[in-house]
Amino acid sequence: MFDKLEELENKYLSLSQSVSDPSVIADTNRWRGLMKEHNDLTPIIEKHREYKKTKQDIEDAKEMLNESGDEELRQMAKEELKSAQERLDDISQELKLLLLPKDPNDEKNVIVEIRGGAGGDEAALFAGTLFRMYARYAERSRWKTEILSANENEIGGFKEIVFIIQGRGAYSRLKYESGVHRVQRVPVTESIGRIHTSTVTVAVLPEAEDVDVELNMNDVRVDVFRSSGNGGQSVNTTDSAVRITHMPSGIVISCQDEKSQLKNKDKALKILRAKLYDLEQEKQHSQLSAERRSQVGTGDRSERIRTYNYPQSRVTDHRIGLTLHRLDAVLDGDLNEIMDTLITYDQTEKLGGSAE
């Protein structure tokens, strides 16, 4: 590990010189690329330098302990030695985490699909609850949420809703949400009754850019139709709704939320690119079974990952055995404790795998 860190230190010094070179600054694209590389290395180099300084503190404390005849100075040296050794262990662990391979999608926006599963109207209502939970979390994180496609039922729930959350690092936080979410409560549709169990599926996809996916428009069939909605929702008199079919994969995307056919097409293509990118990622992950085992619920979307129990105000994440008795706060978007624990668990698993 430390040989690698010394190599990175030399690379960092070279990059520091390059990004200050007037000839490099004049080439905007090259300068941006080097600056990104420099910024990505900065936390690793700073931690490595802290590690080396702490090692020197340990040597200095040992030297004082061995050479000083003053009991008070020796006691100070013992305390400094103990403190520095504890810091060194912490810094070493932090360095290992910083050196873990980065998920290239972590900084991306996310496209989230929520679908009602078992439970009919109750599942659709809870799909709406989860959408609001993620929208509130995005708001707390100062991220932007935009609905791409929605299929509402008659009582205010969603049979399916697809939306994008735009914000730096959104995927790094939300990627663990893919899977089956289970709700246990007396149905909202019943005034008195027994507790029912319903399920909702969530899929979190990194937003794919044009450079991530080679989309041949000759493989895409675009159909237009008149959009319609439930109840008092207006029905457009023009063919503004769009259905896109990607013939090689069989993926079908429909968007009708905008009055503009062009906007609906753009939204549908955005979802299609994300799905095609996700398919390619799935192929790669299936070839890397060891890496896949180290991930926390980011692959198998049939996995039951979390239960929301209303009578006990309890939320349980089954992958990590975490139970919180503050359901209202979680559904209001207070998800950081769950997400932080998932990230820590995932990193620990990967560290264990890298040590094998």
Q: What is the pLDDT of residues 161-219, one digit of tens each?
A: 999 999 989 999 999 999 999 999 988 667 667 888 999 999 998 888 765 677 888 88
> Is 299 a residue whose pLDDT tops 50?
no
Tokens of 346: 């995932």
pLDDT of residue 220: 84
- Cβ of 186: how many Cβ atoms within 10 Å? 15
Asked whether the CA dihedral 254, 256, 262, 268 is positive or negative, the reply is negative
Q: How confident is the model at residue 153 (pLDDT cuts 50, 70, 90)?
A: confident
Residue 21 has pLDDT above 60, yes or no: yes
pLDDT at 6 over 60: yes
Query: Do the Cβ atoms of 110 and 165 come closer than 8 Å?
Result: yes
Owner of token pair 């089954």: 318
pLDDT, one tens digit per residue, over 317-349 is 999 999 999 999 999 999 999 999 999 888 888
**How many CB atoms within 10 Å of residue 89?**
10
Local structure of residue 299 (DSSP, 8 states): S
More confident residue, 353 or 100: 100
What's the CA gap between 226 and 317, in Å, rounded? 42
Please say if the pLDDT value at position 298 is more than 70.
no
In residues, how long is the chain?
356
Neighbours of 108 (CB within 10 A): 24
Which of the two residues, 156 and 131, has the higher pLDDT score?
131
**pLDDT tens digits, 219-261:** 888 888 776 655 434 444 556 788 888 888 888 888 887 778 8
Give the model's pLDDT for residue 353. 57
Three-point CA angle 182, 188, 191, nearest 5°: 135
Amino acid at position 200, single letter: V
What SS3 state is found at 247? Answer: coil
**Is the pLDDT reported for residue 313 higher than 90?**
yes
Task: Provide the 3-class DSSP secondary structure of residue 199.
Answer: strand
Q: What is the pLDDT of residue 33?
A: 86
Q: Is 86 buried (19+), middle (13-18) or exposed (0-12) by CB count in 10 A?
A: exposed
Question: Is 30 within 8 Å of 24 (Cβ atoms)?
Answer: yes
| pLDDT score, position 284 | 62
- Report d(CA 230, CA 156) in Å as an integer: 9
Directed axis angle between helix 28-67 and helix 71-99, to 10°? Answer: 150
Q: Based on DSSP, count helices (H) and strands (E) in the chain, helices before strands.
A: 10, 11
Given this model, what pLDDT does residue 337 score? 95
pLDDT in tens, 32-80: 889 988 988 998 899 999 999 999 999 988 988 887 778 888 888 889 9
Q: What are phi and psi of 240, to 5 degrees?
A: -95, -20
Which phi and psi angles does 218 have, rounded to 5°? -70, -20
224-238 burial: b if 16+ Cβ within 10 Å, else e: eeebeeeeeeeebee
